[in-house]
A and B are shown apart, each in its own frame.
Chain A
Amino acid sequence: MATKASRTAARAMMSPSVILLLGWMLIPLALTLYFSFLRYNLLMPGGNPFVGLENYEYFFTDPAFQTAVVNTLLLVGGVLVVTVVGGILLALLLDQAMWGQGIVRILVIAPFFVMPTVSALVWKNMFMNPVNGLFAYLAQSVGLEPFDFLAHAPLASIIGIVSWQWLPFATLILLTALQSLDSEQLEAAEMDGAGPFARFRFMVLPHMARAITVVILIETIFLLSIFAEILVTTNGGPGNASTNLTYLIYAQSLLQFDVGLGSAGGVFAIILANIVAIFLMRMIGRNLDA
């Protein structure tokens, strides 16, 4: 029932945010697009001549390119699986009656507050280090060879570290959703002889669907550009085993200072992000029709 006046007012209220974000997106995007057609290396100042699609050719034929795309998807997917499944289990557990629930929640939520750089440094040095790390000590104390996580399972290790950071977030949102479930319905179902698994499958899970969608959406936004954790732990290695797109673009534009090549990569990453965004939008449209 919005009147014309309130529509105008609404537009006026929305415009500062929209205009600023548009500027924030378009100005760098335009520059990135422009740079991507230039031979532009910070270390070699010169005329920055126009080179057409040369940067794209080099970017797409980069031996690390395919691995990087696959790793990006594996990283996002891996963390999503771990945090959503782990989050559901934890939420179910925390929803049970217990003593000291408040403290348990405080402990579980804590990793979310830790800076990504700090958590990567701590995991790398104090836990995963094969000589001085705690995991190495544990392995040795049961008579096993210490496992060199970052050399032999680099991507899985990074997925582990990132999941640790995001598990609290997933748990909290899923727990809130779970707590809003009508317990009388559950009890009625129990009376009717539905087992715990059936109740979970047919009542709890559908109820949490929206919350799961939200977790996936928000986490994807952040996980697509995971960078600090890789830089600190493996530098994308060994080889390209843990290089994702963001890290590849970093290596090109800030290690080789090849701004042209990095920009071509940036344009590709932007396109990929938009594909993912459209995909998510569809999913949201179905599931989150608020």
Chain B
Amino acid sequence: MARAISTHRKALNTAIAWLIAAMIFFPILWTVLTSFKTEAQAIADPPLFFGFDWTLENYTTVQDRSNYFRHFWNSVVISVGSTLLGLALAVPAAWSMAFVPSKHTKNILMWMLSTKMLPPVGVLVPIYLIFRDWGLLDTQIGLVIVLTLINLPIIVWMLYTYFKEIPGEILEAARMDGASLKSEVLYVLLPMAVPGIASTMLLNIILAWNEAFWTLNLTAAKAAPLTAFIASYSSPEGLFYAKLSAASTMAIAPILIMGWFSQKQLVRGLTFGAVK
């Protein structure tokens, strides 16, 4: 197992990997740094890396102008809500596909995925009219429903591939012992499926948090999440790099931090059945 690797070689690997990782991460770092500069420093020539007076001015300005906490809360409710609702729908569906497959299972799965390829702009007007008639415009529940539906195929598929890895013999054994369908799911299947479910949940929260078309078009003030918050900073008058950076940092920080802390769980189930 343990191959002898020279320290020399390891140092080289480390250097290359760190260099590339730093390059990939740099845009985010640069945004965060810029958010602590004044507008004039943000466009200074030559660019300032650390040698500037750190200021929280931009964050104050952004908070004065927009109710960050409300947008943040809407983002949390919408992404978590749609994920939970999606899981409630998808776990049974994926379970039955994985353990009681029929000859249509794969077609159904593919059809589900194909619904995700439809361009949302093409159906915005019909959906807007339906939402108007049902009183769902600018409501959290409306967005929860839409985001559940657009991410449901991914959830079902991810869970399906994960459930498939669970050996059927265990279920057979449980059934022999006289376990009912309910206890089969609750005590045998779920514990084994938890890592997959957790990972699906995390991925879906990320996707829902970053969804910027429906969330922007179906909300006004009450249910608008952070994607709408960003839309008010995208191209304002005058110098705006620092304020834009502050708003961007505020919009991505929660999900970035969540992603980092849970990356082990996220990665564990993020295989889509690709690993045999």
Interface residues in chain A, defined as those with a beta carbon under 8 Å from any beta carbon in chain B: 1-2, 6-7, 9-11, 13-14, 16-18, 20-21, 24-25, 27-29, 31-32, 35, 42, 90, 93-94, 96-101, 103-119, 121-123, 125-127, 132, 134, 137, 141, 164, 167-168, 172-173, 176-177, 180, 183-184, 187, 210-211, 213-214, 217-218, 220-222, 224-225, 227-228, 232, 245-246, 249-250, 253-254, 259, 262-263, 265-267, 269-270, 273-274, 276-277, 280-281, 284-285, 288, 290
Q: How far is the CB of A44 from chain B (nearest CB, A)?
A: 14
Interface residues in chain B, defined as those with a beta carbon under 8 Å from any beta carbon in chain A: 1, 3, 5, 9-10, 13-14, 16-18, 20-22, 24-25, 27-28, 30-31, 34, 43, 45-47, 89-90, 92-93, 95-97, 99-100, 102, 106, 108, 110, 112-127, 129-130, 149-150, 152-154, 156, 161, 164, 172, 181, 206, 209-210, 212-213, 226-227, 230-231, 234, 241, 244-245, 248, 251-252, 255-256, 259-260, 263, 267, 270-276
User: CA–CA, A213 to B271, complex, Å?
Assistant: 11
Contacts of A96 in B (CB 8 A): 10, 13, 17
Contact B153 A21 (CB under 8 A): yes
Contact B121 A221 (CB under 8 A): no
Contact A115 B230 (CB under 8 A): yes
Contacts of B90 in A (CB 8 A): 17
- Answer whether A6 and B274 are a contact pair too, CB < 8 Å, given A20-B152, A100-B18, A110-B28: no
Which label, helix, strand, loop or mixed, suits the secondary structure of the A interface? helix
**Number of CB contacts from chain A to chain B under 8 A:** 290
User: CA–CA, A245 to B121, complex, Å?
Assistant: 10
Contact B263 A109 (CB under 8 A): yes
Contact B274 A177 (CB under 8 A): yes
Contact A249 B28 (CB under 8 A): no
27 contacts between A and B (CB under 8 A): A18-B93, A24-B150, A27-B130, A32-B126, A96-B17, A97-B5, A98-B17, A106-B260, A108-B21, A110-B259, A114-B28, A115-B209, A121-B244, A121-B248, A126-B27, A167-B24, A172-B270, A176-B271, A210-B275, A214-B273, A225-B121, A227-B121, A232-B234, A262-B121, A266-B119, A281-B110, A284-B110
Partner of B248, one of A13, A20, A122, A184: A122
Interface centre among B14, B46, B121, B276 (most CB of A within 10 A): B121
Contact A225 B117 (CB under 8 A): yes
Contact B10 A97 (CB under 8 A): yes
Contact A93 B17 (CB under 8 A): yes
Q: How far is the CB of A99 from chain B (nearest CB, A)?
A: 5
Contact A17 B152 (CB under 8 A): yes
Partner of B24, one of A17, A108, A280: A108
14 other contacts beyond A115-B212, A134-B47, A225-B118, with CB at 8 A cut-off? A96-B17, A99-B10, A100-B18, A104-B21, A110-B24, A113-B255, A118-B31, A121-B230, A125-B244, A211-B274, A213-B274, A221-B117, A225-B117, A253-B121
What residue in chain B is nearest A165 (Cβ atoms)? B210
Contact A253 B124 (CB under 8 A): yes
Contact A173 B122 (CB under 8 A): no
User: CA–CA, A210 to B214, complex, Å?
Assistant: 32
User: CA–CA, A277 to B122, complex, Å?
Assistant: 18
Q: How far is the CB of B54 from chain A (nearest CB, A)?
A: 18
Contact B117 A277 (CB under 8 A): yes
Partner of B156, one of A17, A177, A224, A267: A17
Contacts of A127 in B (CB 8 A): 27
Partner of B115, one of A24, A210, A288: A24
